[in-house]
Amino acid sequence: MEMVNTQTALPRWKVWWLAARPKTLWASVAPVLMGTAMAYADGKFHWLAALAALVGAVLIQIGTNLANDYYDYLKGADQQGRLGPLRVTQAGLIAPTTMKRAFVFTFFLAFVIGTYLIWRGGIPILIIGLLSILFGILYTGGPYPLGYNGLGDIFVLIFFGPVAVGGTYYVQALTLTPEVAIAGLAPGLLSTALLTVNNLRDIDTDREVGKKTLAVRFGKHFAQWEYVFCILVAAFLPVYLSMTLHTHYFSILAILILIPAIGEIKTVFNFNDPAVLNQTLARTGKMVFIYSLLFSIGWILPG
């Protein structure tokens, strides 16, 4: 029988809000914003497809977060002494079977939204949607969970980057250009930086439960420099694109992300208490959105 802690002052909606991990959702909004801005600049903007892509992307990430909550609980990864935000299944606030039904239903809703995008974009969008849902589950579920074997960073880079930006552009323009795929690397890199902070914070507890993230495999210094690398490459990608294409020069505004990034980089290299990285995690999530907003505005502006 499942034991669920009902002695909590948190209202039910707040428990589910925490389970959705709202501070991470900017990672799903950012690539859709960028893909839509690039479609608009090419005269291919389609508002209904853009809206469906946004809702679908957010639902897939929420479903992934709920699945992570469930599978981490089953694997014992969310220990009582963990330093990150509350995991509601481990805390006894939501029964495991309820959480399982919740992530299955969320993925189902994403697929329902995606049927319109499949009708519009065809087989490529069907493949992207199914793989996104599949890997969202396999991130912490299945016999070889990606997040437990150091493959989470690659998944995040690809699916929150070129796949999300390219897919958003494609369902509007019904074609794809090389610059869209290259630009897509930026939100993928910044989302990987977000994951890196999470893994750096949890490096000790992950090691104890056998969760072999890149931080656990290669150490603290590797994770610190991975964070810097992801931010720097993302910041300078618009410079490369604008200089190569000889247009969209205002997209270089996205390099301003380095201003708030300096403080977070200092924290990543100098923290004493890993719990401090919770704030860095939240601020890095905001940086993903700010970057996408600056890039999108700059890409649309003439010049």
- List pLDDT tens digits, range 23-68: 889 999 999 999 999 999 999 999 999 999 999 999 999 999 999 9
Quote the CA–CA distance of 187 and 156 in Å, as a whole number: 9
Flag whether 8 is in a domain. Answer: no
To the question of pTM greater than 0.85 for the whole model, the response is yes
> Is 24 within the bounds of a domain?
yes
Q: How many structural domains is the chain composed of?
A: 1
Cα distances (angstroms) measured from residue 216 to each of 103, 187, 202: 28, 24, 9
pLDDT tens for 56-70 read 999 999 999 999 999
CATH number for the domain spanning 275: value is 1.10.600
Q: Count other C-beta atoms under 10 Å from residue 161's C-beta.
A: 27
Residue 4 CB-density burial (10 A; 0-12 exposed, 13-18 middle, 19+ buried): middle
Residue 5: inside a domain? no
- Note whether residue 129 is domain-resident: yes
pLDDT digit string, tens, across residues 168-215: 999 999 999 999 999 999 999 999 999 999 999 999 989 988 899 999
Sign of CA dihedral 108, 198, 262, 155: negative
Contact, 96 vs 29, CB < 8 A?
Answer: no
Residue with tokens 């939204």: 113
- 7 within a domain of the structure (yes/no): no
**What is the rounded distance in angstroms from the CA atom of residue 156 to the CA atom of residue 110?**
18
Tell whether 65 is covered by a domain: yes
Q: Is residue 148 part of a domain?
A: yes
Q: Answer whether residue 3 is part of any domain.
A: no
**Domain range holding 39?**
14-300
- Report pLDDT digits (tens) over 69-114: 999 888 876 655 556 677 899 888 999 999 999 999 999 999 999 9
